[in-house]
Amino acid sequence: EALRGPLTSGGRTMAQGALAYIWALDSRMIPIPGFKTVEQVQQNAGAMEFGPLGDDAVRRVHQIVADLLTSLG
């Protein structure tokens, strides 16, 4: 739930945010998302309209994950 903020920035869905995060890490990476419904196909395709996650959002994701790993010990 903590990742919802940075991943949904700019109006993305969580799935679109996850794809945008992968694109932001390396422009040569091409995520291959799964889908079960037409709506999921449309959301996955719509992620391209947003482009990669911005640098600030990527930093926030990394910080949230680092904090979580630290708390788990």
> What is the pTM (predicted TM-score) of this model?
0.86
Write out pLDDT tens, residues 5-61.
999 999 999 999 999 999 999 988 888 899 999 999 999 999 999 999 999 999 999
pLDDT at position 29: 87
The two tokens of residue 47 are: 């992620």
Count of structural domains within the chain: 1
Q: Which residue range(s) make up the domain with 65?
A: 4-72
Residue 62's alpha-carbon distances to 7, 34, 37, 67, in angstroms, are 11, 24, 30, 9
pLDDT at 37: 96
Query: So what's the pLDDT on residue 30?
Result: 85
